[in-house]
Amino acid sequence: MLRIGIVGGTGYTGAELLRLLARHPQALLTVITSRSEAGLPVAGMFPHLRGQLDLCFTEPDPGTLAECDLVFFATPNGTAMRAVPDLLERGVRVIDLAADFRLKDPALWEQWYGMPHACPELLSEAVYGLPELNRAAVRDARLIANPGCYPTAVTLGLLPLVASGAVDPSWLIADAKSGVSGAGRKAETGLLMAEMGESFKAYAVKGHRHAPEITQNLAQFAGAQVGLTFVPHLVPMIRGIEATLYARLVDPAIDLDSLFADRYAGEPFIDLMPGGHPDTRSVRGANVCRISVSRQESMPGVVVVQSVIDNLVKGAAGQAVQNMNLMFGFDETTGLEALALLP
C-alpha cells in the first residue's frame, strides 16, 4: 500500500482527494493536515467519511510527511514551494494541486502570483500533470504540477485543433464559466449565496493567471505564437466548468469529429459527444472531460468547441489521483470509475 499524506485536508480539493482515496485499493492515507482543525477526527468534519477513515487532522510537520511515499498539497498558491525541496530530498514524491510548479518561467510566476518563487531550480524538473498531454513524463516524475481547473477544460478542448495545425493559433478565444467551489472554501463576501446567487458575471477580464498557463500548454504544440483571449465567469452553481472555445480554421473543409476522435482515441477520461451539448451536470463527481465540436453554417471558417469538467475532479483531485496512478504503475483508472451524479 502507498502511504499518502495530504496537506490541506479541510479545503474543497483536499476533501475531494479524501473521498477518492478512501476507496482506492492501493492507497493508505496516513497524514491529513489542517492547522485550524488539528487534533479533530477527519470524519467528524466530513461525515461522509464515517467508517471509511480513522484519522485525525494534524499540524503540517515535515518529519511526519517525510514518512509518506507521496504527498499531495491541496493548499493555497505559494505554500507547497516552501516544503517541496525538503520532501524531494527525503525521497518523497509530490503532487501539488496549486500553481506553484505549473509555469516554467519564474519571472512569469512572480508576475501573476505576486511573490518570488521559493525554489525556481525545481521548475524545469516539475512535470505538468495533464496525462492526455504528457503521460510518459508523468510516469517518471518526482514532482507533479497538477493543472488548474480552467486550463484543464480549455487545453483539452483546443489541443487537437492547435496540435494538428487546423486553426490559426494566434486567434483563440476561451469563454469559460465556473461554479463557486472553484474559489475554494474560504469565507468571502462575493462568494455568499446572496451575492452571487441568481446572478452571473465575467471577472478578471483584463487578465487571469490561468491565461499564461493555457498559453504555455498550447505553445508546445502550436509551432507559432499563441494568441489567447481567456475570460472566466462565475455562475451560481457549486461544481463544474463549461468552456466555449472559438478558433479560426485554416482549412474549412476539415472533418472535425475525426480530428478529435483520432487525437483522443483510447483516452479513458475524454468523452467526445459529436453534435451534442455537454453540460456540467453530466460530469459532476466524475473524472471526465466531455467535449463537443461544431461550426455554424453561416460561419464555416470558425470552429466552436464545448468542453466541460467537474473543477474538483478532472479539474483537481481526480486528475491528481490519475497522475498518482501513472506515477506508481497502477491502472490509470483505479479509484476513478465513478459515474457523474444526475441530477
Ligand X SMILES: CC(=O)N[C@@H](CCC(=O)OP(=O)(O)O)C(=O)O
Ligand Y SMILES: NC(=O)C1=CN([C@@H]2O[C@H](COP(=O)(O)OP(=O)(O)OC[C@H]3O[C@@H](n4cnc5c(N)ncnc54)[C@H](OP(=O)(O)O)[C@@H]3O)[C@@H](O)[C@H]2O)C=CC1
Q: Which residues are catalytic?
A: 149
**Shortest gap between Cβ of 27 and ligand Y (angstroms)?**
19
**Shortest gap between Cβ of 217 and ligand Y (angstroms)?**
15
**Shortest gap between Cβ of 202 and ligand Y (angstroms)?**
18
CA 48 to CA 46: how far, in whole Å? 5
- Reading the block at residue 324, the C-alpha cell is 498518482
Contact 226, 170 (CB under 8 A): yes
Smaller CB distance to ligand X: residue 143 or 166?
Answer: 143
Smaller CB distance to ligand Y: residue 58 or 282?
Answer: 58
Smaller CB distance to ligand X: residue 37 or 100?
Answer: 100
**Shortest gap between Cβ of 11 and ligand Y (angstroms)?**
2
**Shortest gap between Cβ of 272 and ligand X (angstroms)?**
25
Other CB atoms within a 10 A radius of the CB of residue 280 amount to 22
CA 8 to CA 3: how far, in whole Å? 16
Positions that interact with ligand X (CB under 6 A): 77, 98-99, 148-149, 178, 182-183, 210, 232, 234
Smaller CB distance to ligand X: residue 14 or 182?
Answer: 182
In terms of DSSP bridges, do strands 299-309 and 241-249 run parallel, antiparallel, or are they unpaired? antiparallel
Whole-number Cα distances in Å, 58 to 38, 48, 154: 4, 20, 36
CA 240 to CA 285: how far, in whole Å? 9
**Shortest gap between Cβ of 151 and ligand Y (angstroms)?**
9
**Shortest gap between Cβ of 326 and ligand X (angstroms)?**
20
- 138-158: b (≥16 Cβ within 10 Å) or e: bbebbbbbbbbbbbbbbbbbb
Residues 6+ apart with CB under 8 A from 190: 196
* Residue 305, contacted partner among ligand X, ligand Y, none, CB below 5-8 A by kind: none
- Reading the block at residue 168, the C-alpha cell is 490559426
Positions that interact with ligand Y (CB under 6 A): 7-14, 34-37, 60, 74-77, 79, 97-98, 148-149, 181-182, 184-186, 311-312, 315-316
Give 315's DSSP letter. I
Amino acid at the residue 79: T
Smaller CB distance to ligand X: residue 134 or 178?
Answer: 178
**Residue nearest to ligand Y according to CB distances in the complex:** 11
* Residue 11, contacted partner among ligand X, ligand Y, none, CB below 5-8 A by kind: ligand Y
Residues 6+ apart with CB under 8 A from 156: 130, 132, 270, 289, 291, 307, 309
* Residue 234, contacted partner among ligand X, ligand Y, none, CB below 5-8 A by kind: ligand X
Contact 176, 153 (CB under 8 A): yes
* Partners of residue 242 on adjacent β-strands: 177, 308
* Partners of residue 248 on adjacent β-strands: 302
In terms of DSSP bridges, do strands 201-202 and 228-234 run parallel, antiparallel, or are they unpaired? antiparallel
Smaller CB distance to ligand X: residue 80 or 99?
Answer: 99
CA 81 to CA 103: how far, in whole Å? 13
CA 153 remoteness from chain centre = 8
* Residue 280, contacted partner among ligand X, ligand Y, none, CB below 5-8 A by kind: none
* Residue 12, contacted partner among ligand Y, ligand X, none, CB below 5-8 A by kind: ligand Y
Smaller CB distance to ligand X: residue 56 or 183?
Answer: 183
